[in-house]
Structure formats: structure tokens, C-alpha cells
Chain A
């Protein structure tokens, strides 16, 4: 059976790598067909994001929240729940943090940067966890559908955030809806050349390490993984699987809150979200590409950040629209998520091995 395990691992790996290669080739071909100057377009798409510091900064600016939201979605998705509340949390949690920042009578204005950032992160994490527990409660205790509840809640949280922004935070001197500028001691500062690559990367790295440790090394991580793998077995083993499901969704919400915090206080100088950001959904895409394993999240987050930045670069350098490159993302997910991809050759090899084992057994008898 070890041979079967090896074949399965090999094909699992091949599925991601081949999926990526096929999606990439497919996109390059499509660009060649639609671009006025195919060579230039392919060059811009393939290596454009790495050609200037600013563009690389854009990749990293996207990579930072993707890494955190991907880790969060890993927990939610790994326990078999499609709680999409992350989308609303990314809008709502930093809004509450901004309220605290501006509403504490200048208290936070004078605190040192690390302490201020820590407070903002904690507020966002707590709000994220609390908000995520609502769809979890609807599912685990009331037996509702967490996907429907979370999608509805995302819009409620968006409009609630906009109300709070208009009512308590808005800067009337600006021509668009935004808060007053964040003070210097409440921002993740750019790491080089004023690019989008900001110090939130340290938070991402810490979040990634925490996610891996919680997922693989703690009792609750083990319980979440067991509950996802077989809930009847979890209950038989004495694991309170409902508690594990709650924990997974709340932990996911905490990560989402942190992702929102790092994005708002890293990329912007004011709170100015007036639409859903898609960071929550992107987190789900990252988790799908990483096959629910936090260990692969940095790779998956970087791939997605690269695709998104390439799309922007291509759009600016040629006449090809941004949405066009999203096809690559769709093709990639199709191949990675499709269980049937490479299933036939894999089964052929496994069937052959099984027959050989059976023949050996017969000979042994």
C-alpha cells in the first residue's frame, strides 16, 4: 500500500503544478491572440510585475493580506464549512479599529507605533472573531446555512461600516467618503522606495507561523482536522466536534480581521472602503490552491498576488482589460480543485499495483 500512497502523493503534486502550467500557457496563448503587440504583451504579463520596484511592491501589497486571509480560510475551509464572512470582516473590523483610534480622545494618537499597531490588530482580531461566530452559531447551533447567512451579513457589514464612516469618521474636507488621515503612529510604513511593500509583511509572517503551529501542533488544530476528516469518528473519540467547528470559524474570523487591519493601515492613509474588497474571497481561492494546508499558503498567496498584479500591469501597458487575466485564475482553480483531473492515469497505475499485490498474495498462498 506504500506504493499506492506514493502514487497518490505524486499525482496530488502534479495536479497543482500541471494546473498552474496549463493555466499559465492558456493565458499566454490568449494574450498572443488578442494583443496588438503580442511580444510586448507577453513580456509585460510574464515579467512585468518584477521589472520595477513599484510593481514588485504592488505584488507584495496584495501578498500581505492574501497570506493572512488564506491562513484564515484554511481553518474555515478545513473544517468543511463555507463561512464567507471574511469578506465583511475585512471592511468592518478596521472600521471599528478606526473608531477606536479617533474616538478615544487623542489617547491613541500619542502612543508609540508598535503599541498602537498592536492595539489596532487586537481590536480587529477580536471583532473578526466575534463577527465570524454569528454564522457559526447559525450553522452549529441553529442548523442554518452558514454560506447564505455570511453572504447576507457581508452586505450588512459593508453598509454598517459605511454608516459608521459617514456618521463618526468622515473627513468633510475631502471630496470622497473617507476618514481623517491616520496618524503616523498608526500605520504600517512602506519598507522601501515608498512602494506598497509595507511592514505588515512581518505580521503576515507571524500569522503564517501561528497558523501552521495551531493547525499542526495544538490540540485544537488536531481536533479541527479530525472533525473535518470524519465527524462521526471525532465524536466517537470524545472530541466535541461542534466546539471544534466553532473554534475553526472563529479562528478564521480572527485572521480575517487581522488581514483587514494590515490592508487598511498598510496600504491607505485613511479608512476609505466603500465596497467589498474581495480579500475574503481571495483568501478562499488561496486556501483552495493550497489544498487547505497552511504550509502551502505563502506559495498560493504569491501566485494569486502575481496574477492580479500582472493583470494590472498588462492593462496599463496594453489595451487588454484587467478582467481578461482573471481567466488564468479561473483555469488554475478549475484544475487544482477538479478531483477528476489526472484521475484516469492515476487510477490506471493504482489498479495495476492492486492487481500485482493480489497476484503476489495468491503466489504466497
Chain B
């Protein structure tokens, strides 16, 4: 086991490679290869960004480093010595700490009790509460992470909770800190404060792995970056040699996106109308603020924006998966605020969720069951209490054929398919249900180029041939620019810009609005409905 004293660390830290992961390959027990020969290294006194789309393999790589997963091949070197990390306790003993996106804390215990949990001070089995408070205050001062040891966790802000998480790792001697999307839950002020603290830790010789989707934050705080795509390293380098555009190229593999031809949209009647929508999250933070917009039949409305600016919440409110705090949402003239998901679907809404494994499918069930899930109450697929298996089978066969799903007869578990084919199943189910509004949230994220192209073409086909209105939310800028008829940009839960001809929009223009540098006036935006 490798455990270093504080003095040893002091001597080692100055810009020396502290960790190297070499040739890491991780295969899950369902045969999915999450990391393919990945190499990653970090120096002491460095903040290293690890970025990539969801499903690119970043979390798996960090889980391996923190001992939560075991890799099939590859070696981890710490200070040049090959080492094995057996479990999280082992990782902590070797100086690796992880701050998860969802904090691991006991809400009914105090800050001090949470921080010293597992390393409680005291003698003869008796807990010394006073000493715990002292330890917390000492660590708080040392690392400039200001917390009140006697506050109950349930009474403190999210920013404070994150400080507690950092202190938990630091007090256990962590020298390598893994932060999984640390700013996703923070307000801008809290984010700023966190960056100051991280800079201090960096100057003190700590190595920080910073996982984030927010490119501007990466440009601001990080020194180096490693980009993962489809489980492989797609690029790495010094931040000073890169810009946001180059980073996004590396993340999405922009050069392979194909040009799509589409006819002019014929806008018809209003299908979706969102007015003065507000949404506060569980922490009381405003995620959507006074948002108004609409979609007409036959048009594709794209929403671009840095992830975490309210796009997901908007799509989930429209589809009934969340309840709005204020405002109204009408679909085909019917207000939906008190309707169930089933009723909203019956109004003519289809939904491609951004989290395809959590919401989009049931991994253990067959392709047939996954497609049938939204049709179980449809008269055409029922004979009394029974599901009309013949009709369902025929329908599933047609879906498999039309959407070129690479599988057998549809009876195999959906988890056996590749990510692209799973997405095809979801798209087939949602596109064939007779809806006149499709909410597609990240429909091509983390899937292969061919499938992405098929899905984009299907979106255009549905809108042009059937007059369906589509809300397309995507972090792939090329996709929203190519596919959308009208483009909206979201920043901090608001629509900050509207472009009626997305193809004419340049990346620079987009960037200025996405980063909040510019904000169109109501007059400039024009009619949002």
C-alpha cells in the first residue's frame, strides 16, 4: 500500500506527475466496453479537465481510479509506482478523494459529524464531539473552506454542502481530488467561490480532476484537458493552446456531421404554447425564469445552450415529468399543468429523454416490451383486458425494419443492443405513436454517426410529411443549426436569442449568447410563438 507522509507530499508536489492511468479497458458484465485503452495522467498542482459527452466513459474512468469499478486491463501508477486500487477505502488511503455530483451526507448530523464520520476522534470507543469540532475548524482554516461545524447538514446551502464534501476528502489526506460536475448545482456566486478555493488547492500542490460539461468553466479554471469520446481518448492538451470551439470539436467529432437537405417549413397552427414559465428546483434555485415560447405544426424549433441552463427542466415540464412552479403550458389548446404523463401523451406528445437508460428504456425487458410500453392502453393494440400480441409483434417488426434496428426478432433484452440501436428503438417508439409534438432532448448524444444521421433525417421527415412540431434540444451545435427551422438560445433559464434562419448563424454569434455576453431585446427576438 502506498501512503505518503505530509513531508513527502510537500517534496513531491511541484508539477510532478502524481498519477498515470495507462491502457485502461473496462468492460461491463453486459459486454459494453466503457473504456477502450484509455490513458490519463495528472500532475500535482494542476487542475485537469476530463470532458466528453454523457456515456463517453469519464465517470467509469474515475470510478476505476476511486476503486468503485475494476478494469479488465491497464495499470495505475502513483508517483511512478504501479499500484492497485481495490476499493474506495483503499483509494482514500492512497490519497484519492472523490466529490460526487450528488453529495454523500447525513442530513440530520452536523457538519463536523459528517466530516469526521468513519475517523471519529475519541478514546476507548467514546466519541469526542469537542475534538471533532476542533478538527473541522482546523481543516476549515487550513483549506480556506469556511464552514460552521455545528450546523445541521439539512439547514445549510448547496455551496456549503460542497465545502463539506471537499473537507471530507481533504481531512482524510486526499492529494488527488476528483470533482464530478461540481458546478452543476451551484449558483454563479457559489461557482466563483469554488473556483477561488480550487485555485488555492492547486497552488498548495493538490491535483484536481475536474469533470464538467461547461466549456467556459474549463477554459477559466483548468490547466490541461483530456477528452473522451465513445470510451476512447479523443484528444488532450494544454488549455492555453485550445479554445472552446476546438474543445467542442474534440467532444462531438464535429467534422463528421453531414450536411442535411431539407425543404422549407410550412408553419401551421400553434401546437405548444409556454407562457411566463418559472421553475424552482429542490434547493429553491430558479432554473427557469419567466420563459415564453411556442411551436407551430410543421416546424422544428431548436434550443441551444450550455448544458444546465434549464433545457432539461423545460422538456420535462412540457412532457409532464416535472411540475412547473408558475406559468402555463398548453398543448393543442389544452392546459397541462394538472395532467398526468399519460394524459399529456394522449394529447399528442412524444418524448425522447436525454437519459435513455433511466427514462428511455427498461434495460432488462425485450425490445418488444420497450416499444409496447406507450401503446398498452391503445384500443388498436388491445382485445379487452388482453394485449393483442399479434398486432404488437407486427408493429414491432415494422419499427425494426423502418428504423433499421440491428437485432433479431425483437424478443432479446434491449440492453444487448449498442447505444445507437437502443436509441433507434426509442425513436421508433416515439415517432410512430401518432403524436403531433415531439420533444427530442439530446436525441443523438453519445451515439454513432450513422444512427445520428438517421435520427436527424427522421425528425425532418416527421415535420415535413406529417406536419409534426418538434422541440429539439441539443448540445451538438451543428445538429441544432442543421436541423432546426428556428433557433432559440437558453441561458440561465431564459430565452436570450432567437434566430429565424439558423443556418446563417456563426459559432461566434452562438457563443456570445450562450455565454451570456449578449442578450437580444424582445423586439430583436420577435415573435416567439
Report the minimum CB–CB distance from A213 to chain B (whole Å).
8
Q: How far is the CA of A357 from the CA of B33 in the complex (A)?
A: 10
Report the minimum CB–CB distance from B410 to chain A (whole Å).
12
Q: 0/1 per residue, B367-400, Cβ < 8 Å to A?
A: 0010011101100001001110100000000000
Q: 0/1 per residue, A209-237, Cβ < 8 Å to B?
A: 00001000111101101100110111111
* The one of A226, A354, A357 that contacts B362, using a Cβ cutoff of 8 Å: A226
A358 on the B face (CB < 8 A): yes
Contact A222–B374 (Cβ < 8 Å): no
Chain A residues within an 8 Å CB radius of B346: 238
Chain A residues within an 8 Å CB radius of B369: 222, 225-226
Chain B residues within an 8 Å CB radius of A238: 340-342, 344-346, 374, 377
Report the minimum CB–CB distance from B161 to chain A (whole Å).
24
Contact A229–B363 (Cβ < 8 Å): yes
Stretch in contact with the other chain, from B24-32, B105-113, B462-470: B24-32
Whether A237 touches B374, Cβ cut-off 8 Å, given contacts A347-B29, A351-B27, is yes
Contact A235–B341 (Cβ < 8 Å): yes
Contact B30–A4 (Cβ < 8 Å): yes
Contact A226–B365 (Cβ < 8 Å): yes
Whether A218 touches B387, Cβ cut-off 8 Å, given contacts A223-B376, A233-B361, A238-B342, is yes
Interface size for chain A: under 10, 10 to 19, 20 to 34, or 35 or more residues? 20 to 34
Q: Number of B residues contacting the other chain (C-beta, 8 Å)?
A: 43
Chain B residues within an 8 Å CB radius of A240: 340, 342
B124 on the A face (CB < 8 A): no
Chain B residues within an 8 Å CB radius of A343: 29
Chain B residues within an 8 Å CB radius of A222: 369, 372-373, 376, 387
Chain B residues within an 8 Å CB radius of A51: none
Q: How far is the CA of A230 from the CA of B373 in the complex (A)?
A: 11
Q: How far is the CA of A2 from the CA of B385 in the complex (A)?
A: 33
A1 on the B face (CB < 8 A): yes
Q: How far is the CA of A240 from the CA of B376 in the complex (A)?
A: 12
Report the minimum CB–CB distance from A358 to chain B (whole Å).
6
Contact A218–B386 (Cβ < 8 Å): yes
A113 on the B face (CB < 8 A): no
Report the minimum CB–CB distance from B466 to chain A (whole Å).
21
Within 8 A of A (CB), among B339-356: 340-342, 344-346, 351, 353
Contact A234–B373 (Cβ < 8 Å): yes
* The one of B341, B362, B376, B387 that contacts A230, using a Cβ cutoff of 8 Å: B362
Chain A residues within an 8 Å CB radius of B416: 1-2, 4-5
B412 on the A face (CB < 8 A): yes
Chain B residues within an 8 Å CB radius of A5: 412-413, 416
* The one of B353, B377, B417 that contacts A219, using a Cβ cutoff of 8 Å: B377
Chain A residues within an 8 Å CB radius of B382: 219
Apart from the given pairs A218-B387, A234-B373, A354-B32, 9 other A-B contacts in the complex at a CB distance below 8 Å: A219-B376, A219-B387, A225-B369, A226-B373, A235-B341, A238-B344, A238-B374, A350-B30, A354-B31
